């Protein structure tokens, strides 16, 4: 209850500051919340951007494909490097180093390679999501207590049983955390990719409104995108909580 | 039934060498021992004398470089939970499973239906002194309780042979003595064949029908003591005091060698 009040209070304060600042500024550069409301209404009624549903759907699909690829490749690479001591020692640090590079530097070449359509956005979302998932799997595999593996083997567990009954539960927490971070970064990758250069998708609409200085529409589009991001994170954190309860 | 004169377990001239970063280490050299059904056989010896390696071989987790091991007449080729159950020094409970679920683990791997294994595990918890703790997680249990859950997990699969690798090594002295009494009771009721590894003279003398003293590395069997006294044993009887002195003098020699 107190937490909710404090959250609402902060939101109200931010809105008030925004309103005051927005009214004082040049309306081409900034808009107060009071001006966003009509823009948001026009947007949702498909007056300002009739292709909003198609664009939103495109962005969601790009995120879905990028994330699915990142999960598949991240789990694959993570387990391959985690289970094989030599490969893990050789390549693990390189992956961690690559993760530290600001990923946006790769984007121009991705665009040259994959073109302006969905492929380059998917590639970028994949690239961003891949690293945290891989690194989480690597860290998770290291968390597995070898003694528990030995105990399971003594009781007749083969490789598959050890994997599902010992390894997965041991690393579940770290793994789910990595999957959640990966999702957030895949979303960022796709949206940033669209903003940096695209013909369609939420990023393209944002870019369009921003380029034409339709600041109200721009803010309204950002809010819709924000909802998408927050929604995906709420979903992921729900799964994380469930995993935590299960692993304890 | 078996080649080696009815022995349930026959260890024949086994040797094991480990390759470490600082060169090869001979853990076991030419160890032979046979154990009859129903025996409580203790392996005692200085640290690093290969007791645990020998136990690992019997459990099928370590393979010998030379020699062979037979259980019920057949060679040991890998873990065989239908015949051999192991209790380790570190209880090795799965932290995401309750006490009851940990006891069920082996039965689960053997495909025993959920209801039956739950019933079986539940029946075990009472005698283990864990009646009220079925739903507790390992982190909520004391060291002694954890070790009893681990023993419960081993008893649940009802294998003939129980391998125990310093099961009470991590416990304080008082708990250790009580756990010994309790184990004796379990053993006398279930009539399992127990191979027990320990550092403790007290445990060896209090529990065993036979004690095998191992030498410092590379481990060999130095001598075997037959203990025929009735249970429960008094540690103060003249016979026991004499045995204790004898066992200690053998142990002392090897421990001194191990320290050099």
Residue B61 touches chain A, beta carbons under 8 Å: yes
CATH number, position A165: 1.10.3720.10
Closest CA of chain B from A246, distance in Å: 8
**CA dist list (Å): A62 to A58, A193, B112:** 6, 11, 46
Segment holding A97, helix H or strand E:
helix A85-100
Test B94 with A154 for CB contact under 8 angstroms.
Answer: no
Number of other CB atoms surrounding residue B196 within 10 Å: 27
Assess: ipTM above 0.95: no
Q: Does A155 map to a domain?
A: yes
* Per-residue pLDDT, B2: 42
Residue B92 touches chain A, beta carbons under 8 Å: yes
Nearest-CB residue to B92 (from A148, A157, A165): A148
| Domain range for A128 | 54-198+235-247
Q: Which long-range contacts (CB under 8 A, 24 or more apart) does B75-82 make?
A: B79/A153, B79/A154, B79/A155, B79/A156, B80/A156, B81/A154, B81/A155, B81/A156, B81/B106, B81/B109, B81/B110, B81/B157, B81/B159, B82/B110, B82/B157, B82/B159
**pLDDT digit string (tens) for B58-88?**
999 999 999 999 998 899 999 999 999 999 9
Nearest-CB residue to A148 (from B79, B80, B94): B94
Closest CA of chain A from B186, distance in Å: 21
Give the whole-angstrom CA distance, residue A127 versus residue A133: 11
* Per-residue pLDDT, B57: 94
CA angle A137, A138, A144 (to 5 degrees): 85
**CA dist list (Å): B213 to B19, B49, B73, B246, B258:** 25, 10, 25, 11, 14
Minimum Cα–Cα distance from A245: chain B residue: B96
Q: Does A162 map to a domain?
A: yes
The count of structural domains within chain B is: 1
Q: Does B221 map to a domain?
A: yes
* Per-residue pLDDT, B3: 45
Percent of chain A with pLDDT over 90: 55
Residue A247 touches chain B, beta carbons under 8 Å: yes
* Residue B210 predicted with pLDDT over 90: yes
Q: For residue B159, name the pLDDT band (cuts at 50, 70, 90).
A: very high
Q: Does A35 map to a domain?
A: no
Q: What does the DSSP 8-state code read for residue B133?
A: G
Give the whole-angstrom CA distance, residue B227 versus residue B68: 27
| Domain range for B231 | 1-78+193-260
Closest CA of chain B from A4, distance in Å: 33
Extract the residue ranges of chain A whose pLDDT is less than 70: 246-248
Nearest-CB residue to B81 (from A156, A165, A247): A156
Residue A153 touches chain B, beta carbons under 8 Å: yes
* Per-residue pLDDT, B136: 94
Reduce the DSSP state of residue A218 to 3 states and report it: helix
Nearest-CB residue to A155 (from B90, B96, B105): B105
Tokens linked to A43 = 């947007």
- Average pLDDT over every residue of B131-141: 93
* Per-residue pLDDT, A246: 64
Q: Does A120 map to a domain?
A: yes
User: Across chain B, what does the average pLDDT equal?
Assistant: 90
Q: Does B173 map to a domain?
A: no
Q: Which stretch of B4-8, B31-35, B80-84 has the lowest confidence by average pLDDT? A: B4-8
CATH number, position B36: 3.40.50.300
* Per-residue pLDDT, B5: 53
């Amino acid at each position: 209850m107190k937490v909710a009040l404090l959250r609402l209070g902060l939101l109200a304060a931010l809105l008030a500051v925004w309103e005051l600042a927005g009214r004082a500024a040049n309306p081409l550069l900034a808009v107060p919340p009071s001006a966003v409301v009509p823009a948001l209404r026009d947007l949702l009624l498909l007056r300002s951007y009739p292709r909003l549903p198609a664009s939103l759907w495109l962005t969601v699909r790009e995120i879905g494909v990028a994330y699915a690829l990142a999960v598949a490749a991240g789990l694959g690479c993570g387990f391959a490097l985690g289970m094989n001591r030599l490969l893990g020692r050789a390549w693990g640090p390189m992956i961690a180093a690559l993760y530290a590079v600001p990923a946006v530097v790769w984007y121009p070449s991705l665009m040259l390679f994959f073109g302006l359509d969905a492929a380059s956005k998917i590639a970028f979302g994949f690239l961003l999501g891949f690293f945290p998932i891989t690194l989480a799997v690597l860290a998770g595999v290291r968390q597995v207590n070898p003694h528990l593996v030995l105990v399971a083997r003594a009781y007749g567990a083969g490789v598959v049983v050890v994997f599902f009954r010992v390894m997965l539960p041991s690393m579940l927490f770290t793994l789910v955390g990595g999957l959640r971070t990966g999702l957030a970064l895949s979303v960022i990758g796709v949206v940033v990719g669209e903003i940096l250069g695209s013909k369609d998708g939420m990023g393209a609409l944002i870019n369009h409104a921003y380029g034409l200085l339709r600041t109200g529409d721009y803010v309204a589009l950002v809010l819709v995108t924000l909802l998408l991001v927050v929604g995906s994170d709420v979903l992921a954190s729900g799964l994380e909580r469930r995993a935590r309860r299960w692993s304890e | 039934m078996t080649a080696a004169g009815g022995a349930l377990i026959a260890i024949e001239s086994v040797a094991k060498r480990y390759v470490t970063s600082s060169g090869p280490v001979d853990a076991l050299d030419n160890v032979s021992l046979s154990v009859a059904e129903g025996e409580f056989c203790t392996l005692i010896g200085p640290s690093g004398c290969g007791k645990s390696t020998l136990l690992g071989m019997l459990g099928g987790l370590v393979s010998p470089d030379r020699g062979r091991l037979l259980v019920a007449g057949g060679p040991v080729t890998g873990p065989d939970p239908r015949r051999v159950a192991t209790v380790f020094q570190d209880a090795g409970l799965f932290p995401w499973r309750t006490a009851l679920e940990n006891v069920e683990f082996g039965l689960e791997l053997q495909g025993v239906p959920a209801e039956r294994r739950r019933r079986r595990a539940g029946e075990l918890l009472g005698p283990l002194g864990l009646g009220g703790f079925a739903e507790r997680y390992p982190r909520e249990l004391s060291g002694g309780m954890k070790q009893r859950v681990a023993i419960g997990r081993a008893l649940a699969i009802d294998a003939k042979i129980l391998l125990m690798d310093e099961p009470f090594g991590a416990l304080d002295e008082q708990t250790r003595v009580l756990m010994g009494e309790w184990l004796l009771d379990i053993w006398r009721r279930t009539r399992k064949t127990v191979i027990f590894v320990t550092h403790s003279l007290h445990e060896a003398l209090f529990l065993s029908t036979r004690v095998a003293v191992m030498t410092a590395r590379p481990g060999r069997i130095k001598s075997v003591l037959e203990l025929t006294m009735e249970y429960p044993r008094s540690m103060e009887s003249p016979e026991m005091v004499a045995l204790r002195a004898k066992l200690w003098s053998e142990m002392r020699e090897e421990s001194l060698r191990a320290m050099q």
